[in-house]
Structure 1
Amino acid sequence: MLTSMPTLQEIVDKKLILTHFQPQVSLKRKAVIGLEALSRGFDPETGDIIPPNLLFEQANDGASRLALDRVCRTKAMESFAALHRRDKTVMLSMNIDASCINSLTRGSNHLLKLVERCGISPNNVIIEIIESRCSDVDALMEFVRFYRKKDFLIALDDVGAGYSNLDRIPLIKPDVIKLDRSLISGVNRHFHKLEVVRSFTQMSNRIGSLVVAEGVETSSEAMCLLENGIDVFQGFYFARPAPGLDAVPGMSEKVDALADQHRLNRTRRIAEEKRLFSRLDLIVLTMCQILADTPSRGIRHALSKFMVTYPNVECLYVLDMKGRQMTDTVCNPERLKESKRFLYEPASMGADHSLKEYYLPIQAGLEKFTTPPYISLASGNLCTTIAHVVYHRASGRHIILCADLTREEDKTCS
């Protein structure tokens, strides 16, 4: 335990900063693709490490924060330079204190001068910004534009934490989005966390940003994230921050084991999905064959009988070819939640489904369409809808059977 420590002025003047590095690991490439530089202070007399919280809380005004931030950047660059000379493929991620970016500092070019002095290519440097700490948005945007033009990459750090301003994502257009550990912790066991992570991942894929999951502490978290589209990980499970740039013992074995398990899980999941949808398709096809010869006045009774026969079925309803509901929705009463009745309610006869995801492909000419899992507006439960065109011989026209099928097993990765 620290009994005394150098003052902030001593730390800055004497550059009493150590840089620890934490790997950023790509499981698909089975390689370390980046290192985040993390700063710690040290006491030269005792050799004690000064933890980051004790170090940075001393910088309680703009001038001291800027001075400390620049020392940390300098030590990180100098420590990384040796590795960069040996391996030009590894990236350096380093935090910039966004509160220091303002009209007085934005033209200093301190970081650009630093990489030039250390012989590091700007292409290998990711500037991590916690945007919530910046009060001068104009200065921040000028900073981002300048360094991006100089070929640095820009990352938004701690995305999803606290009150982070998501409107900064379209403003900054980050090359990297780092998901905060508050989202990652226990993601394999919490459906809502997983859905938020999925949303960020899908968005990032569309806007061309790389997602990095921070704070990964278990193989289950890593596996769940990998199965949901994230490939780059950082956290104690792989390696704790440490001085030096040597390989971390045991990390390659963890990476290999996760990659092998992912391959097995993915193969098994595809086979299970194939079996599941074959079974669901057969259920829907059987119902369609029965409905084809059911008189119009008997359709609702037939739907009720299907509900008893097939426990996977949550809701059933029939549409005309214009997307208008021809029957009331028949539901499994055990699947409806009274606590959500004001939010979710089965649609009644006459309801317009013409803009629903399962109707539009039918309108476009498909005979059958199966949705991805989604929350049903009828029940509030996770389901898959299969919409299937039926030639109703009793009336001489086509109708559409829609079946909401339960998918509760998809709620977590466990």
Structure 2
Amino acid sequence: MNAVTARYNGYQLHSVFQPILSLCHRRSVGFESLMRPVDADNHSHSPVDVIREAAEHGDIRQLDTLCQSLHIRNFSAQAPDERWLFLNLDPSTIADRWYHDGTLTSALREAGVPPQRLVIEIVEGAIDDEPQLFAAVDYFRSIGALVALDDFGTGHSNFDRIWRLAPDIIKLDRSLIVEAEQHRTGRLRQMLPNLVSLIHEAGSLVLAEGIETREQALLAMDADIDFVQGFYFAKPTREIDHTRIDGLPIFGEISQHFETTSTIQERLEADRIAPYSDAFRDAIERIARGESPQEATRALMNMPRAARFYMLNARGEQLMHVDGRSLRTRRIFHAGPITDTSGGTWSRRQYFRAAMAEPQRLQTSRPYLSSTGAYMCVTLSIAQGNPPERVVCFDIDW
């Protein structure tokens, strides 16, 4: 392929493209365009250095416009149909509203690229003037392009902008995935799926960039992230060879590994919960035979991670509770105002609703932060009676 290049300040500028991949489709859905400068001696330079020089010479607008046209032409010459072009704009282009000069739309028209195949990347925390940011998003949508907020999760990132901007795609900063990978049992790993779910509820798709290891790819899968990008799958290249990328064996390999490890993890969690489930059922049977809750739950509540045993009526109102060994040994003193659950109502809790929907069947919740002590827990629950008259619950310190 005879790629188009451009010249700026002694540099030859080349386009390279890194695939954006869908984990579900197992193929590329787009390509992010990046600039690679080469000097007269054919030595490669960092794009950051060229951008810095352009800023010093007051040439940012010229360089940004040059790169837009360069990437669009090279993308048009080789990209397959039904793929997006992810195009980065310098924040000053947004701040100074240079996008209104018609250069971008002219470049698209001349290259024969429909605006619907364009994804404009805007660095979420680089623009402090919100009216300018909103005006830019409105403009790009008016010409038919999609909008992606880049580097979400760093700096000034906030959900308020997501609600109001409703970007088509959110690109998570790679630091989120890296941190989650490094802290296997940390809160970020537990929070990542919830963060992605929240973004989905706001109407945006999620892209994780900088995926460099299999573990990071598996984390993206586990968090239900839509798209991935990174060296683990493909490096940026001048040529777009989607036939080499689409259907890569690596998709099947990580999918199989994810299924296997997920099954193993589920078994480990089931094995971890099983002794508590058995003791919980035994306590319920003892209570049914007439033993007091305190006596019937003695063995259960002395288990290492036993937190709370409690009963709720059909309205979710707490009837009684017994604190377990875990709470007695790790009582969080600063949580004192919320540790007394007398008179509480838990009808909004998933474990209560699930138990009421299927009487006599033991329910196991997902791990969640307890509002009675600020610790992570899993709740076992079972509704008794038909129709249910009460729900018996047990919290495991997770």
Quote the residue 2:3 is aligned against. none
Task: Summarize deviations over 1:203-237 as a string: whole Å, max 9, x none.
Answer: 23223321111111110110122122124211121
Task: List aligned pairs for 1:54-73, cutoff 5 A.
Answer: 54-60=49-55, 63-73=58-68
Quote the residue 1:412 is aligned against. none
- Give the 3-state SS of the residue equivalent to 2:159 in structure 1: coil
- Give the 3-state SS of the residue equivalent to 1:37 in structure 2: strand
Q: Is the aligned partner of 1:34 residue 2:26?
A: no
279-288 vs 269-278, which deviates more?
Answer: 269-278
Task: List aligned pairs for 1:324-343, cutoff 5 A.
Answer: 324-333=317-326, 336-337=329-330, 340-343=332-335
352-361 vs 165-174, which deviates more?
Answer: 352-361
**8 Å contact kept, 2:326–2:397:** no
- Structure 2: 5+ residue runs without aligned partners? 1-5
Quote the residue 1:79 is aligned against. 74
RMSD value, Cα: 3.2
Q: Distance in 1 between matches of 2:341 and 2:249?
A: 59
Q: What is the aligned length?
A: 386
From 166, 177, 187, the counterpart of 1:184: 177
Quote how far apart the aligned CAs of 1:68 are.
1.4
Q: Is the aligned partner of 1:146 residue 2:139?
A: yes
From 251, 254, 274, the counterpart of 2:250: 254
Distance 1:306 1:272, change over 3 A: closer
Task: List aligned pairs for 1:347-358, cutoff 5 A.
Answer: 347-348=339-340, 350-358=342-350
Quote the residue 2:212 is aligned against. 217
Quote the residue 1:299 is aligned against. 293
Identical aligned residues as a percent: 25
Quote the residue 2:222 is aligned against. 227
Distance 1:335 1:189, change over 3 A: farther
Task: Summarize deviations over 1:222-266 as a string: whole Å, max 9, x none.
Answer: 012212212421112112222222356899232231122223334
276-285 vs 66-75, which deviates more?
Answer: 276-285
Distance 1:405 1:75, change over 3 A: same
Task: List aligned pairs for 1:9-408, cutoff 5 A.
Answer: 12=8, 16-43=12-39, 45-60=40-55, 63-84=58-79, 87-102=80-95, 104-190=97-183, 191-246=186-241, 252-269=248-265, 281-294=277-290, 298-308=292-302, 310-311=303-304, 313-333=306-326, 336-337=329-330, 340-343=332-335, 347-348=339-340, 350-358=342-350, 361=353, 366-367=358-359, 369-390=363-384, 398-407=389-398
Q: Distance in 1 between matches of 2:193 and 2:351?
A: 25
Quote how far apart the aligned CAs of 1:111 are.
1.6
Task: Summarize deviations over 1:86-120 as a string: whole Å, max 9, x none.
Answer: x1122111111123224552522322121111111
**8 Å contact kept, 1:21–1:241:** yes
Task: Summarize deviations over 1:95-151 as a string: whole Å, max 9, x none.
Answer: 111232245525223221211111112121111101322244323322212221322
Quote how far apart the aligned CAs of 1:83 are.
1.8
Q: Distance in 2 between matches of 1:196 and 1:61?
A: 41
Task: Summarize deviations over 1:362-389 as a string: whole Å, max 9, x none.
Answer: 7966536543210223454332112323
Quote how far apart the aligned CAs of 1:80 are.
0.6
- Give the 3-state SS of the residue equivalent to 1:244 in structure 2: coil
Q: Distance in 1 between matches of 2:97 and 2:346?
A: 56
Which residue identity is paired with 2:140? Y
Q: Distance in 1 between matches of 2:188 and 2:283?
A: 37
Q: TM-score, normalised by structure 2?
A: 0.85
**8 Å contact kept, 2:306–2:327:** no
Task: Summarize deviations over 1:139-190 as a string: whole Å, max 9, x none.
Answer: 3322212221322111000000223243221222111111001111142342
Q: Distance in 1 between matches of 2:233 and 2:328?
A: 42
Task: Summarize deviations over 1:21-52 as a string: whole Å, max 9, x none.
Answer: 11112232221221111112221x20112202
Which residue identity is paired with 1:200? L
- Give the 3-state SS of the residue equivalent to 1:33 in structure 2: strand
- Give the 3-state SS of the residue equivalent to 1:226 in structure 2: helix
- Give the 3-state SS of the residue equivalent to 2:28 in structure 1: strand
**8 Å contact kept, 2:12–2:37:** yes
Which residue identity is paired with 2:51? F
Quote how far apart the aligned CAs of 1:281 are.
4.9
Q: Distance in 2 between matches of 1:169 and 1:301?
A: 52
- Structure 1: 5+ residue runs without aligned partners? 1-9, 392-396, 408-414
129-138 vs 10-19, which deviates more?
Answer: 10-19
